[in-house]
Structure 1
């Protein structure tokens, strides 16, 4: 059978390919992406060409004309997305995430494939302190969140029309080797003494990337359809995350607390002159001040067994980087 991954050259896709090669060595793996491993635009530090993986250049924003000899048992993973915020024009989120969903599902339908996993986001819930379950009414308030919610509906339409098996995953903050995002910036900020608490009880739902891709395969094997929040349960707050990260990596750092309004003023000044590169940006400061309070009870009670605790996941990531620097 085939595992066909749209957006497989990215952070999550690369970890998924590694796991598939380890657990399903007899099956074929296809990576369909606009960029190939080693090219500019691919997250550095993790992505390399894997022997036995079929790499095909594909832009999901355009109708997909890729010939693969498929079977009835094939699985498609749609990971292709524009996701970093801030960092893109509004139209880019809609162009890739919505049109991409239309083109991917159209191709899947044309091939008669019946199994698909779509990585959505917690962004469709909207930014608010309230606890969000899978049954919570989505109220997205960003172009990214809106585009992801629409993409979910496109995939659900494919499922109903084709009687397919669809798993929609809404991960919290995904971290691990090759992430170069929120958790990497947090580690760098702590290590270099420029991270400050605005409040210690801000909840930041998160999941280790290796855990996430293990869940993908478990959910497929156990026919776990529907929408899934993917996060530790209960979700950790920022102080717990920082303390686990420090303990796992051996950092000895004191993290002071700074009023959020003051930090926003600083970010508004420093951000435009280079602060964005290290996370000192008004949009990122605001994100830090608002909880991502995502409920993971459905996953916790599903029968899936986590492979890592929070601290163990940071330690594993640190080991992957030869105990030098989380990146």
Structure 2
């Protein structure tokens, strides 16, 4: 059988390939990484996936019709990780072109080749910004182009699923995903604490749903390889209950032996400063209106449904930071 990963050269994909190679592959199995970037290029995490036997890297733009030059089987599994996701960082059109057109082309590929299993990594962005706890049954109210594009992509996958009762579709909505190679919110948080320039944006109780990348890919395996099911399902991927930003900061400090005291700055003052600094380079250190706003609004996402599947997390919050720190060595978290 084949493990076909669209967007497998990125942060989550490299960890997934590492897990599949170490725990899942049998003698005849193959891993195909179809991505617009290749190993050694932007988006690939050094030291996790390099020169892997049994892995074939194929340059692929999911915005275009997808052709396979390898033999597929009905037992193959597709992992659709491809996305334009960084916010801010892209024009509105780019989110729709990649996330929606990609979903259309990947499900068309599965249809053409008779592949019955797809896992799609969506996002918590379809819920929109809100303080209230969100479950999988909550009404989606996306308020960004990214969130809208991801919700639309979910519906495209669901449309593919209902056309054949033997198909299996899992849609994952991860919170903040962190670990080696992330280069995102958690990495900036660590650098900010270490460099004494991170501060609480008006409050310490902002809820930030998150999951360690190694547990996320372990759940992908648990769901798609270790178990079988029919139909489609949507599952939030986050610790349950989700942690506050203060709990995250304190766990990170303890795991990485940082002793910095984190001050709190008035939210209105901070937003005003971000509007001034942001356009002239503030995005590099997180002082950008969109990022400051994200710091001040909770992503209060329930992970109870994931917990009820019987899956066991391999790490607590503090243990995950310690493991990440150990993976990166003297360079700190990246």
Whether TM exceeds 0.5 here: the answer is yes
Residues 43/260 of structure 1: CA separation in 2 closer, same or farther (3 Å cut): farther
- Does residue 117 (structure 1) correspond to residue 124 (structure 2)? The answer is no
Partner of 2:169: 166
Which deviates further from its counterpart, 220-229 or 206-215?
Answer: 220-229
Number of equivalences: 327
Native 8 Å contact 2:175 2:238 kept in 1:
yes
Native 8 Å contact 1:46 1:178 kept in 2:
no
Which deviates further from its counterpart, 220-229 or 75-84?
Answer: 220-229
Unaligned runs of 5+ in 2: none
Residue from 179, 185, 189 that aligns with 1:182: 185
| C-alpha distance after superposition, 1:269-310 (max 9, x if no partner) | 222222111111110000000000000111112211110000
Native 8 Å contact 1:249 1:323 kept in 2:
no
Alignment of 1:282-293 (within 5 A): 282-293=289-300
Residue aligned with 1:130, SS: strand
Partner of 1:206: 210
Residues 281/45 of structure 1: CA separation in 2 closer, same or farther (3 Å cut): farther
- Which protein is richer in strand relative to its size? 2
Residue aligned with 2:298, SS: coil
Q: Cα RMSD (Å) of the superposition?
A: 1.2
Alignment of 1:240-251 (within 5 A): 240-251=247-258
Partner of 1:258: 265
**Which whole-Å CA distance do the structure 1 matches of 2:317 and 2:51 have between them?**
29
**Which whole-Å CA distance do the structure 2 matches of 1:285 and 1:167 have between them?**
32
- Does residue 309 (structure 1) correspond to residue 316 (structure 2)? The answer is yes
Native 8 Å contact 2:8 2:33 kept in 1:
yes
Partner of 2:12: 12
Unaligned runs of 5+ in 1: none
- Does residue 138 (structure 1) correspond to residue 107 (structure 2)? The answer is no
**Which whole-Å CA distance do the structure 2 matches of 1:281 and 1:43 have between them?**
26
**Which whole-Å CA distance do the structure 2 matches of 1:67 and 1:123 have between them?**
35
**Which whole-Å CA distance do the structure 2 matches of 1:153 and 1:290 have between them?**
26
Partner of 1:58: 60
- Does residue 197 (structure 1) correspond to residue 236 (structure 2)? The answer is no
**Which whole-Å CA distance do the structure 2 matches of 1:25 and 1:41 have between them?**
24
| Displacement after TM superposition at 1:49 (Å) | 3.8
Residue from 82, 85, 88 that aligns with 2:84: 82
| Displacement after TM superposition at 1:322 (Å) | 1.1
Residue aligned with 1:187, SS: helix
Following superposition, which runs of at least 4 residues in structure 1 exceed 6 angstroms of deviation? none
TM-score by length of 1: 0.97
| C-alpha distance after superposition, 1:199-257 (max 9, x if no partner) | 10000000000000000010122236500000000000000000000000000110001
- Does residue 215 (structure 1) correspond to residue 219 (structure 2)? The answer is yes
TM-score by length of 2: 0.95
Which deviates further from its counterpart, 9-18 or 216-225?
Answer: 216-225
Residue aligned with 1:228, SS: strand
